[in-house]
Structures are given as structure tokens and as C-alpha cells.
């Protein structure tokens, strides 16, 4: 009896998985984008940029937008779940995972249906070009000897993504996450100004935010948090190779739907966002904002989220920012 149930269960799971991969998309002519922050921010630009490319490339007839700021995204999430809006996609990013763990809002990404991620930015460690650190080993050995002597800047608050990444790097030197001297700035640009002014020794940031200054020769990158080297910069080692095996981290931006939305609509959105990837209009939008493509959908996206949650929970615990 038990075995039979298990077999039926397995069958259901496998057919569901098969469907999830090659599901039959429903029809979609309009999509409403819910933006959990105000006009002009990163979420706003992502939703409007995606919507613009979708409409201009005729994948979608109509894209509408709604800004609903409040509570670091809490209001929009509660609204989405409450109304179960059938045609609404909410934009979000790595902070949804961080803020759930910190208890800013009671829900997690599991209370929503993750649809797909569209863009991402790998974390990097940067130093000034006149810095004595030629590679990550130099930085790690100094960090190991005297972590308080190496201030590391970042463009997010303590416990935010840049801090987490700095802590992941420090683990490569066998340093406790709490020992890292993390200096928060309120934006990536100001953190970069802090690095160039010499008040900090290194910067934890996103590749997209620093790449221009690297090309101009102001700063040097020590490693990137991707799993393999970037084709554009083959000489830049991954952090894993360079001596910080745990430092894998990407800041993604993607879309979520209400849990009550039927499978065929989710499927249609996934199809829509997959079609978007190949269009010239999307390429233009990405170039305009300097975004790097990072397309994961369905189970793949879920796996990324789960893994990120695992890493973040462990580190926030070590930093004693959550219990």
C-alpha cells in the first residue's frame, strides 16, 4: 500500500516535472507589472525595461505598471498574495531572500510562484590600481593576520548583499564572518568613491558597477563570484580558483507571480521571457542600463533561490544578524 502510494506520488511528480518543462502556455496579451519600490529605482527600471522590450518586439500587446513601495517590498508581496492577481508579475531581486531571513516580512519566495530571472550581476572584489594587493592571496593573507586592519567597503547596509560577499571572501582566509570590518555606503557609486579616496582597502561590489573603472585603469579586480571565468575577461580568476572556495554569489533580478495563478499562465510568462532573450530590443535595453543577462526559469530559478537562501541563512547567522 505504502509502496503503491509512493509510486503514484513519484509518477505524479515526474509527470508534473515533465509538464513544467514542456508545459502548454496559455494565451497572454497583457501583463501588469507590480513594482515594490518607487519610480526610478532598480526594480522600477527592470520592470519597465522588460515591459518596453516586450511590447516593442511585439511579444506582448500591452504592459501596464504599478508602483507600490513600502516596507522594503512587504506591501507589494502581501498585496500580490491577497489579491491573487491573475495577470500580474512582480519584479524582485536578491534582497527578497535577505529580507525574508531577517524577518522584515513574514513571507518568503516560497509563498509566491517564481517565474524567471532575467538579469544578474556577479559580485567582485576590487582594489585601487595602486594597491599592493596584486591578487586575492595577498589580500587573504593580510585578512587572516589582522582582519580589523582591512576595511572592506560595499554599497549595501550591514547584512546586505555586499557585506555577505565580503564575509564569504574572508572565509577563504579562515576568518570568522563577524571579524570582517565592513564599511557600508548608501550606494555603489559612493562606495567606489570611498575606495578611490583610500579610506578603505577593498571594495565588495557587482561586476557591472565597477567594470568601467577597471577598463580605465582606476581599479583592479581580484576575483569574480561566478562559477567559471567570464568570456570577456578570461584573465580574471573566479574567487573559487583564487582561494575563497565558498565565494559564489550573484545578484539576480527576476519575476514572481501570485501562488494562485494557474500553471498555463506561468508557462506563458516563461515562454514570453524566454522569447525576450533573443530579441534585439532587449539587447538594446540591457545595453542602455549595462545589465548582464542571467536567465533561469522554473525549477532552475527555484534551485538558484534555494541555494542562495541556504548561503545567506548561514552567513547572517554567523554575523549574528538573525537567530
The residues binding another protein (CB under 8 A) are 38-40, 52, 66-72, 74-75, 102, 104-105, 148, 151, 156-160, 181, 183-186, 189-190, 192-194, 196-200, 212-213, 215-216, 218, 287-290, 321
**Shortest Cβ distance from residue 39 to another protein (Å)?**
7
**Shortest Cβ distance from residue 263 to another protein (Å)?**
30
**Shortest Cβ distance from residue 53 to another protein (Å)?**
12
Which residue number, 24 or 129, has a Cβ lying nearer to another protein? Answer: 129
Q: Which residues, 6 or more positions from 10, have their beta carbon under 8 angstroms from its beta carbon?
A: none
Which residue number, 75 or 229, has a Cβ lying nearer to another protein? Answer: 75
Phi, psi (rounded to 5 degrees) for 23: -75, 165
Q: Is 161 exposed, middle or buried (0-12, 13-18, 19+ CB in 10 A)?
A: buried
CB 107 within 8 A of CB 100: yes
| CA dihedral sign of residues 146, 151, 155, 156 | positive
Which residue number, 53 or 239, has a Cβ lying nearer to another protein? Answer: 53
**Shortest Cβ distance from residue 82 to another protein (Å)?**
14
CB 120 within 8 A of CB 94: no
Which residue number, 61 or 320, has a Cβ lying nearer to another protein? Answer: 320
Which residue number, 105 or 133, has a Cβ lying nearer to another protein? Answer: 105
**Shortest Cβ distance from residue 254 to another protein (Å)?**
21
**Shortest Cβ distance from residue 139 to another protein (Å)?**
18
* Cell numbers found for residue 110: 516560497
Which residue number, 112 or 200, has a Cβ lying nearer to another protein? Answer: 200
DSSP class of residue 105 equals S
Spatial separation of the C-alpha atoms in residues 293 and 315, rounded to whole Å: 27
Strand 250-257 relative to strand 113-128, pairing: antiparallel
Nearest to 86 by CA among 257, 270, 298, 254: 257
**Shortest Cβ distance from residue 298 to another protein (Å)?**
30
Nearest to 118 by CA among 99, 93, 98, 88: 93
Q: How many helices (H) and strands (E) does the chain have?
A: 12, 10
Which residue number, 139 or 192, has a Cβ lying nearer to another protein? Answer: 192
Amino acid at each position: 500500500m505504502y509502496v503503491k502510494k509512493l509510486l503514484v506520488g513519484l509518477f505524479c511528480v515526474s509527470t508534473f516535472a515533465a509538464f513544467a518543462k514542456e508545459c502548454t502556455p496559455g494565451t497572454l496579451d497583457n501583463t501588469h507589472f507590480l513594482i515594490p519600490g518607487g519610480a526610478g529605482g532598480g526594480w522600477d527600471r527592470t520592470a519597465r525595461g522588460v515591459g518596453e522590450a516586450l511590447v516593442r518586439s511585439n511579444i506582448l500587446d500591452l504592459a501596464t505598471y504599478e508602483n507600490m513601495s513600502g516596507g522594503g517590498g512587504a506591501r507589494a508581496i502581501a498585496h500580490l498574495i491577497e489579491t491573487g492577481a491573475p495577470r500580474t508579475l512582480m519584479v524582485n531581486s536578491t534582497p527578497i531572500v535577505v529580507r525574508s531571513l531577517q524577518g522584515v516580512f513574514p513571507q518568503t519566495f516560497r509563498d509566491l510562484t517564481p517565474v524567471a530571472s532575467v538579469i544578474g550581476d556577479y559580485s567582485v572584489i576590487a582594489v585601487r590600481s595602486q594597491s599592493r594587493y596584486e591578487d586575492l592571496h595577498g589580500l587573504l593573507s593580510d585578512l587572516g593576520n589582522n582582519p580589523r586592519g582591512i576595511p572592506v567597503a560595499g554599497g549595501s547596509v550591514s547584512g546586505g548583499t555586499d557585506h555577505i560577499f565580503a564575509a564569504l571572501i574572508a572565509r577563504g582566509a579562515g576568518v570568522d564572518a563577524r571579524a570582517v570590518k565592513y564599511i557600508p555606503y548608501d550606494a555603489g557609486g559612493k562606495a567606489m568613491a570611498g575606495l578611490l579616496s583610500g579610506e578603505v582597502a577593498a571594495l565588495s561590489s557587482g561586476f557591472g558597477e565597477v567594470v568601467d573603472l577597471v577598463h580605465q585603469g582606476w581599479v583592479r579586480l581580484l576575483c569574480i563570484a561566478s562559477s567559471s571565468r567570464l568570456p570577456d575577461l578570461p584573465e580574471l580568476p573566479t574567487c573559487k580558483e583564487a582561494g575563497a572556495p565558498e565565494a559564489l554569489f550573484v545578484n539576480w533580478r527576476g519575476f514572481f507571480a501570485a501562488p494562485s495563478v494557474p500553471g498555463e499562465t506561468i508557462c506563458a510568462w516563461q515562454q514570453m521571457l524566454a522569447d525576450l532573450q533573443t530579441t534585439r530590443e532587449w539587447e538594446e535595453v540591457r545595453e542602455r542600463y549595462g545589465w548582464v543577462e542571467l536567465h533561469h526559469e522554473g525549477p532552475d530559478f527555484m534551485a538558484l533561490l534555494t541555494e542562495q537562501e541556504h548561503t545567506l541563512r548561514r552567513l547572517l547567522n554567523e554575523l549574528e544578524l538573525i537567530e
